[in-house]
């Protein structure tokens, strides 16, 4: 078990580095997101991160399973100053 919690800070903005699809949500390169909340699913062995699009207000979830290594996580989003 490798919890992925605390990757993001609630209320901080993050930019998508390069576009990707994660489960049913599409993240566009350059898109800015506001981090809302996090949770962990023991059943799925995955962390769930809830974001809101700065432009559209759409809620998106990033699901990170326990096997994802730190370098892969850092390649997805970067904090915006």
pLDDT, position 1: 45
Write down the pTM of the prediction: 0.85
45 phi/psi in degrees, rounded to 5:
50, 50
As averages over each run of 10 residues, the pLDDT of the chain (81 residues) reads 69 96 94 95 90 97 85 86 83
């Amino acid at each position: 078990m490798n919890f992925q919690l605390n990757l993001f800070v609630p209320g901080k903005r993050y930019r998508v580095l390069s576009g990707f699809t994660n489960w049913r949500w599409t993240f566009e390169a350059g898109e800015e997101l506001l981090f809302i909340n996090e949770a962990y699913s023991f059943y799925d062995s995955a962390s769930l991160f809830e974001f809101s699009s700065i432009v559209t207000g759409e809620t998106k979830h990033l699901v990170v399973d326990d096997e994802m290594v730190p370098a892969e996580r850092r390649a997805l989003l970067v904090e915006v100053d």
